[in-house]
Amino acid sequence: MKVVLKLGGSLIEQAENLLKEVDSHFGDRENDVKILVVPGGGIFANSIREASRKYSLTDDASHWMAIASMEQYAYMLNDMTGIPLIDDTDHIPKGVSILLPYKMLKDTDELEHSWDVTSDTIAAWVARRTGAMFIKATDVDGVLERDELIEEITANELESMGETCADRILPKILACYCMDCTIINGNYPERVVAAIERKVVKGTYIKGNI
């Protein structure tokens, strides 16, 4: 089983505990579970946004700088947890690993260069590339409408909602490739573990196909 776990930058304070919990359940290199953590940008990407506004950077420069910020978060997560880093998806090791995405994205360059494409879309792209189950861990319970949790929604319905806890391009990617995604509150590591185990868990399940 392969899983792409997008770890939002909003979880930076909880990331160490979350990843150690995931690693304690799935880090055994003898099992057949491969969990690839795709880091968000968080505080590192925010500094790029500020620089982009202040210095009127081009979309191309901002795009690659933002992806490089994901690698900063990846190195931080590796330092906190000891979980190994990898820089391609051709040979994902068993257990848990953390992706350094810059080289792979630079080599393929398939995604739009804009602030609409964030680490959410990049994680979905990685999940499609690897044929993995896709889980997005963030700091809210899932997609909310008037403070009420939406437990299940199609990608097309999500796109029509406008701004949510997912980036604007993610619903299009999910719909285009008929990919599903589960959004989980990473402040509760047990929910993330349960989602990886394909158990019913509090969150939002996004259906890529109608």
Residue type, 157: E
pTM given for the model: 0.95
Asked whether the predicted pLDDT for residue 86 surpasses 90, the reply is yes
Per DSSP (E only), the strands in the chain are 2-7, 34-39, 85-86, 95-99, 133-138, 144-145, 148-149, 152-154, 181-185, 204-207
Determine the pLDDT at residue 210. 62
User: Where exactly are the structural domains of the chain?
Assistant: 2-207
Contacts of residue 156, defined as CB under 8 A and 6 or more positions apart, other chains included, come to 171, 175, 210
If we measure between CA atoms, which residue out of 158, 133, 142, 154 comes closest to residue 191?
A: 142
CATH for 2-207 is 3.40.1160.10
Give the DSSP H or E segment for 121. helix 119-130
Please state, in angstroms and rounded to a whole number, the distance separating the CA atoms of residues 196 and 199.
8
Q: What is the mean pLDDT of the chain?
A: 94
What's the pLDDT tens digit per position in 126-176? 999 999 999 999 999 999 998 899 999 999 999 888 778 888 889 999 999
Asked whether the predicted pLDDT for residue 70 surpasses 90, the reply is yes
Secondary structure of residue 125 in the 3-state scheme? helix
- Give the Å distances, CA to CA, from 137 to 37, 74, 183: 10, 15, 6
Secondary structure of residue 103 in the 3-state scheme? helix
β-pair partners for 170: none
Q: Give 91's DSSP letter.
A: T
What's the pLDDT tens digit per position in 6-35? 999 999 999 999 999 999 999 876 678 999
